[in-house]
Amino acid sequence: MNQFTSYSPPDVLNKTLSQEVKVENRWEGGSTMVLDAITLRNLRIVQDEGCLYDRLNFCSTHMGKRLLYQWVCAPSCNLSVIKERQEAVKALFENQELCQDAKSILTTLPDLERLLAKVHALGNLKRSKQHPDARAIFYEEKTYSKRKVLDFISVLNGFTAALKLVELFSDADAKLLKRIMQFHPDGKYPDYRETLKFFKEAFNQEEAQKEGRILPGEGVDQEYDNTLQLIQEIEAELKEYLSEQEKYFKCRLSYFGTDKKRYQIEVPEKAAAKAGADYNLEGARKGFKRFSTAETKDFLARMIAAEEQKTNVLKDLSRRIFEKFSSHYNQWETAVQCLATLDILLAFTEFARQQSGDVCLPEVTYDDEQEPYLNIVEGRHPCIPNIADFIPNDTQLSPESGRLLLLTGPNMGGKSTLMRQAGLITVLAHLGSYVPAEQCKLSLVDRIFTRLGASDDIFSGQSTFLVEMNETAAIVTHATVHSLVLLDELGRGTSTYDGTAIASGVCVELASRGCRVIFSTHYHSLVHHLSSHPGIMLGHMACMVETDESTPDSEDHIPEETITFLYKLSPGACPKSYGFNAARLAGIPKEITLRAHQISKNLEKEATCVRAFRDVVKMQNPTDVRAMLAALSI
């Protein structure tokens, strides 16, 4: 355990900070934005169909897709990193031909990251001895070996193709493009050309693909070269010995035999009489006799030993070549990371081109002297494909206007969409990508908190309201002045009074802390209570209401309201939530909605009486009391 150190995430460290330090405009976060599992799910950043990752994923390689997933789950909070990415994406966006050429090369690349890991594992000596594969008997040994060789050849060809990208971006001006696509000293892309040439010339690739094993060329493997040299020396000695025997028998001789019967001297029958006691007769055929000597038996034993040594060397040869290739693992891994980064930058560029509306590069800033802010002009939800019918909206959270937007509006009016839109545009800005908006300016965000939707956790024994409170507790505990908080209808899981009181308390706390907050609610008493708070501004999703007044209002007939959603954020509060419209659209029977409407009117009358009585009790001037009672209509 001495080899391990304790790690505390930046937002957890904030829990131990004093309140005085929390409200200061000081960056306490890390180099990446914190997005917890709740936020990833609520904003639909990954995993769901049509999520932000899917919309951005125009990557051509598997390694690019994996790195993009990491980027999306942990956007950068490093200003220099964000600026460099924006500069690179802008340069690519302005040069479509370059993008097409680069993508055509990237499309041909195999999954170098996975193959590189596979080659590295196959080259490990310890693994080759202790892994179960070392003790297994493969009935398809040739097929298995061929697969390993093909993977290795694929890696070599992939890194060869990647060099074309270096040539393609040799004139790049953007800092990030130069760093990832140029050799030293301008960039960090490794110059592996000599190393790659050595391995490509180390063996015959066509023969290796057919045979399923690597037969290296001279100078590639010292042990294999020594074995071949030993065999050549034995063959030379055999020739010299045969020449001596030809002088002795005074005729042409040759060796005969296979396997362990090799190197028998085949002598014509007319000269066989010269064979003395040292010559052992092994066989004969018409006109010839075959003899073996102590020397030929020694040659045979040495040759069999050398051939066995060659077989053993060849068995381990692929592993040693893989090991030699893996000795340069750092430069191969660096090249893979550079290629994956380029793939993501091209994906961001393609994402921007796919947008039919306005796009812009956001202006991301951080200044100790400037308080956090968020300003989006004509922003659109990046994950909604049908842009023709989408209504863009402005979102402004600043010290001047108020950093907590208390949002009201009718059901289905677009409140949740606006909140998710603000969160996703913030994520895109920290990724260094274009955002779907006319203009976007914001200061760095250390973490995005979300409390959207309603669901219980039956396996943990937590009710819907408890889940809601757990998520709210995490927000209140960890949110800093640099956080973005999205709260949707907090407190709806309990009674109206309790829910309103909890929502009011959380709103005041977050407003005093200085977080950028969008807080949607249907509690109109909450809006009335917080309307005068200095850090809170009111906004609502506008709608147009048409009332059917052809029939007089009565208990038997209630005028039907037709709601036209405008999906536009407007200042001020919305007087009603128009829940009956949603009930009617859902198909609830008319008699039920009529009864509910009447009950609603009675409850509103009771609430009006209570408010009037409370206001009368508070008044001390009799003139004001008479004026209020005269204006009251119950």
570 or 347, which is more confident?
Answer: 347
Which residue stretches of 250-293 are H helix? none
- Assess whether pLDDT exceeds 90 at residue 67: yes
How far separated are the first and last CA of the chain, in Å rounded?
A: 74
Give the model's pLDDT for residue 146.
79
pLDDT at 81 (0 to 100): 93
Query: What integer is the mean pLDDT of 575-601?
Result: 71
Domain 363-579 in the same topology as domain 222-315: no
Instruction: Give the pLDDT mean for 5-15.
Output: 58
> How many Å apart are CA 634 and CA 632, to the nearest integer?
6
Most confident by average pLDDT, 78-92, 252-266, 458-472, 589-603:
78-92
- Secondary structure of residue 457 in the 3-state scheme: strand
Q: What is the pLDDT of residue 532?
A: 80
Q: Is the pLDDT of residue 634 over 80?
A: no
* Interatomic CA distance for residues 583 and 594, integer angstroms: 11
Q: Tell me what the mean pLDDT of segment 332-359 comes to.
A: 93
Q: What was the pLDDT predicted at 603?
A: 67
What pLDDT shows up at residue 435?
A: 95
**Stated length of the chain:** 634
The pLDDT value given to residue 263: 85
Per-residue model confidence as pLDDT tens digits over 130-172: 777 666 666 666 666 778 888 888 999 999 999 999 999 988 8
Label residue 76 by pLDDT band (50, 70, 90): very high
Assign domain 363-579 to its CATH architecture.
3-Layer(aba) Sandwich (3.40)
**DSSP secondary structure string for all residues of 93-134:** HT-HHHHHHHHHHHHT---HHHHHHHHHHHT-HHHHHHSGGG
Q: Tell me the pLDDT band of 342, cut-offs 50, 70 and 90.
A: very high
pLDDT of residue 558: 57
pLDDT of the residue at 351: 94
pLDDT for res 268: 86
Rounded mean pLDDT of the chain?
A: 83
- pLDDT of residue 374 exceeding 90, the answer is yes
CB neighbours (10 Å) of residue 386? Answer: 7
* CA 37-43-48 angle, 5° bins: 80
For 201-210, 416-425, 552-561, which range has the lowest pLDDT when averaged over its residues? 552-561
Options 1.10.10.10, 1.10.1420.10, 3.40.50.720, 3.40.50.11540; which CATH number does 57-192+328-354 get? Answer: 1.10.1420.10
Written as one letter, the residue type at 482 is H
Using the predicted structure, report yes or no on whether residue 73 has a pLDDT greater than 70: yes
In which element (H, E) is residue 449 found?
strand 448-451
Whether the bond between 185 and the residue before it is cis, its omega within 30 degrees of 0, is yes
Collapsing DSSP to helix, strand or coil, 285 comes out as strand
Give burial (CB, 10 Å; 0-12/13-18/19+) of 256: middle
Model confidence band, residue 615 (pLDDT cutoffs 50, 70, 90): low
pLDDT tens for residues 392-417? 999 999 888 888 999 888 878 888 89
Is the pLDDT assigned to residue 436 strictly greater than 90?
Answer: yes
Q: Is the pLDDT of residue 625 over 70?
A: no
With a pLDDT cut of 90, the percent of the chain lying above it is 32
pLDDT classification of 250: cutoffs 50, 70, 90: confident
More confident of the two residues 18 and 450? 450
Domain layout of the chain by residue ranges:
57-192+328-354, 222-315, 363-579, 589-634
The architecture of the domain spanning 222-315 is Orthogonal Bundle (1.10)
Q: CA-to-CA distance for 567 and 378, rounded, in angstroms?
A: 12
Q: What is the pTM of this model?
A: 0.80
- Token pair for residue 337? 């990371």
36 has pLDDT over 80: yes
pLDDT of 234 higher than 70: yes
Kindly tell me if the per-residue pLDDT of 19 is higher than 90. Answer: no
More confident residue, 322 or 422: 422
Residue 2 confidence (pLDDT): 64
For β-strands 536-547 and 404-408, DSSP reports them as: parallel
CA distances from 356 to 345, 353, 380, 388 (A): 20, 8, 11, 8
Give pLDDT, residue 619.
67
